[in-house]
Structure 1
């Protein structure tokens, strides 16, 4: 809840639309309906547009459940599958979403990102950049709304400075005409994020660094006062830490900052 509050508060402060996301492991902590209800309640009072997205949906059933529970956007991640199977899975999710009156957006991934998020892990040497030709076919045959691409980012914290393949990003941008998504953006230098956005990336995912900021703030509070036992006492400062970081990231991404008038 505090994380949702923080992200929305930051978006309102910057007059920018924002997307909340839950991963499969988050949905093992509580079912999609719980997060969808919280997001719906908060979004209804927000002064900016707020979307609720399923990140790295790892199976059709999870996407279907999230859509039924009110998620406005779904990601089906079949990137570990052979191309034909990935296409078939993504197309099935698109067809399901298209039949719904709410018509949630569908994101899919092509290529492999390094690192680990939840139970998704790509070992060193296995990460593969998105192939532009395959991307064109993938978009054409699935009807997805956005495509997550692999250009050198990774999930989790980086051990060194990430090197993004901007030439590959240009090739992908020329091959497809839908919004591109950059995963694994925590720790990517600001200037690289800005460059990616200028080259056609329309959605940038940050998670690891938000969790780290939240957790560090909690640790600091407890270190200062070991007698604290009320979650609100350390949850508040943790929320403020996330607000500060998200505001910075919104400014870096810059897409719609200041273009939406407060209600």
Structure 2
């Protein structure tokens, strides 16, 4: 099985009111943590990388590893470039084989955001590649993008509808009160805003800042139309904590196969918890009903 575009995958999830986890990976073995966990639960899944990870590992290496995992585990998988502001990096990743990209122009004016999104949409018009954009400003830190709390802005529902109409973008990440990273206090999610945006647009919505949101609030977001949830910090922290624990308990034991396998298993626990929370387990076949139109 090859990689697929996330467009139909997310539409299917939205229609059937479950969510699909999009997990940020930072190393090759984290790719296999995600795919093994998803395979064991028969869940569709999205693997995503930041621009920093692309620069560290190389887009060709990432694509080759993810394609190999897709062929090995036989589950619907998409590969997504997260929060990219650089048009050239987006083009490189599409050429390498990414099946989904995010053009993040949310720091610009509405009209500039529209234009930068249209620039990417022109490239993907005849390709089976999902394009995600953001409206409003999600607070916190994602890779090298920092948005202070006072600069965070929630998306305006009418602007979301206007944006979709002008760009025809496939998925939209509206800022609705979540933040990247681990929360210092309870997240202030604006559920009425999500409901209003979902009533005005037909595309699946994306929940950014998905780490550490209370379970019931995640479920409510999904029922309102958030078909994709990004998980990064919780996954990274579990992986890193396992490495730290290994060296605290086993000083002088430096076999990478030992400590990386422990980190991978801890990451899989988090991934499975999120898949079950989003209720995407046993939905692999649901996402493959139109597989002949999705392969890229």
TM-score, length-scaled by structure 1: 0.96
For each residue in 1:12-71, what CA deviation from the matched residue of structure 2 results, as whole angstroms up to 9, or x when unmatched?
Answer: 111110000000111221221111111011111112111100001112111111000000
Whether 1:34 aligns to 2:61 is yes
- Select which of 151, 165, 176 maps to 1:151: 176
Stretches (4+) displaced over 4 A: none
Structure 1: 5+ residue stretches without partners: none
Give me the whole-angstrom Cα distance separating, in 2, the residues matched to 1:242 and 1:227.
Answer: 23
Structure 2: 5+ residue stretches without partners: 1-27, 289-296
For each residue in 1:151-210, what CA deviation from the matched residue of structure 2 results, as whole angstroms up to 9, or x when unmatched?
Answer: 111011111111210011011111111000000110111111111001100000000000
Q: How big is the alpha-carbon RMSD for the aligned residues of Structure 1 and Structure 2?
A: 1.4
Give the C-alpha shift of residue 99 in structure 1: 3.5
Tell me how many residue pairs correspond in the alignment. Answer: 260
- Select which of 9, 17, 29 maps to 1:2: 29
Q: Which residue number corresponds to residue 25 of structure 1?
A: 52
Whether 1:132 aligns to 2:157 is yes
Within 5 Å, which residues of 2 pair with 1:106-185? 106-185=131-210
Give me the whole-angstrom Cα distance separating, in 2, the residues matched to 1:261 and 1:49.
Answer: 8
Higher relative contact order (CA 8 A, sep 6+): 2
- Select which of 212, 215, 223 maps to 2:240: 215
1:112 alignment partner, SS class: coil
Give me the whole-angstrom Cα distance separating, in 2, the residues matched to 1:230 and 1:236.
Answer: 10
- Check whether the contact 2:44–2:283 (CA below 8 A) recurs between aligned residues: no
1:87 alignment partner, SS class: helix
